[in-house]
Amino acid sequence: MDRRRFLGTGIGAAVGAAVATAGSTSAAARHTFKLKYAPHFGMFRNLAGSDLIDQIKFMADQGFRAMEDNGMKGRDIATQEKIAAELTRQGMEMGVFVATGDFQNPTFVSDKKDVREKLLQDIRDSVEVAKRVNAKWCTVVPGHLDTGLEWDYQTANCIDNLKRCAEICEPSGLVMVLEPLNPWRDHPGLFLSKIPQAFMICEAVGSPSCKILFDMYHQQITEGNIIPNIDRAWDEIGYFQIGDNPGRKEPTTGEMNYRNIFRHIHKRGWEGILGMEHGNSKPGAEGEQALIDAYVYSDSFEA
């Protein structure tokens, strides 16, 4: 059944009718998703309102069992604690927040003392944030490449810096997830761009606190071959993120068959989070409803 036919069936129509009450998030609207998809703040601002706590309630009422917030580290402590309390009340998990990521300068590839100390302090601070918000994962972007240093020296420095960071994370159980970002559309010049590269680095670091963030939008652009790469890197994957290509919008809007990808991840026994790190293809409440419908459809695979 294709998405258009699905949304015209009783299931799709029921979901649409339940949410079309513009934020009256009744228990009847809740969908039982097979996987833990994690929206972010702002994704449902028209249906749920601008208040962060109301947005969490709306996510929960739609059946989402997790959420992520890249900017959590920059929020004041009182707001962090308020968000954490509401997630606990709703039985939701906290996904990733960004621990450290410089898109302009060499960081993890450097052996300079001041650069290294800044990274270590970022991770120390992130451990404290994670404790407040009950987070298990934090995103690490290893920074820009160094055009004046041989690639293998950069790799060695990155591994060494990550080992030091992992030593800080391990006592609390916080997991750094390294995100390879595509160089062709969004992030030219960064050191980490491919899943095999991230796999090799995580294997070398050898810590449960250093894993891969497999962002399927970025990797569809960089190397494709999504399902085989998931299988090859499986043991080092700590977190997934979602976004269709082209456009970086919700599943069903681009070339990627997320229904099959989700089925594959589910069959492999994935119990972690899949972050919805993408935009909405349509504006307003209609676009937010279309996004929910897209996830209901993409999650409707046979288990």
Share of residues in the chain with pLDDT > 90 (%): 90
Residue 303's pLDDT is 86
Q: How open is the CA angle 233-259-28, to the nearest 5 degrees?
A: 120
From residue 152, give the alpha-carbon distance in Å to each of 56, 114, 120: 44, 21, 22
pLDDT of res. 29? 62
Average pLDDT, the chain: 93
Residue 35 predicted with pLDDT over 90: yes
Give pLDDT, residue 129.
98
Q: What is the pLDDT of residues 187-242, one digit of tens each?
A: 999 999 999 999 999 999 999 999 999 999 999 999 999 999 999 999 999 999 99
pLDDT band (50, 70, 90) for residue 2: low
Q: Provide the 8-state DSSP code for 135.
A: B
Which two structure tokens, joined as six digits, stand for 202? 């995580």
Contact criterion met (CB below 8 Å) for 69 and 92: no
Measured distance CA(217)–CA(273) in Å, rounded: 16
The predicted-structure confidence for 40-88, as pLDDT tens digits, reads as follows 999 999 999 999 999 999 999 999 999 999 999 999 999 999 999 999 9
Q: What's the CATH number for 34-298?
A: 3.20.20.150
Average pLDDT over residues 158-177: 98
With 0.75 as the threshold, say if the pTM is over it. Answer: yes
Kindly list the distances between the CA atom of residue 112 and the CA atoms of 1, 10, 136, 157, 303, in Å, as whole numbers in the listed order: 56, 61, 29, 10, 50
Yes or no: say if 285 and 22 are a contact pair by the CB < 8 Å rule. Answer: yes
Q: What is the mean pLDDT of residues 152-179?
A: 98
CB neighbour list of residue 296: distance below 8 Å, 6 or more residues apart: 11, 12, 15, 31
Asked whether the predicted pLDDT for residue 21 surpasses 90, the reply is no
Checking if the pLDDT of 8 tops 90, the result is no
Given a cut of 60, whether residue 27 has pLDDT beyond it is no
> DSSP letters along 24-88, please?
---GGG----SSEEE--TTTTHHHH-S-HHHHHHHHHHTT--EE--TTGGGS-HHHHHHHHHHHH
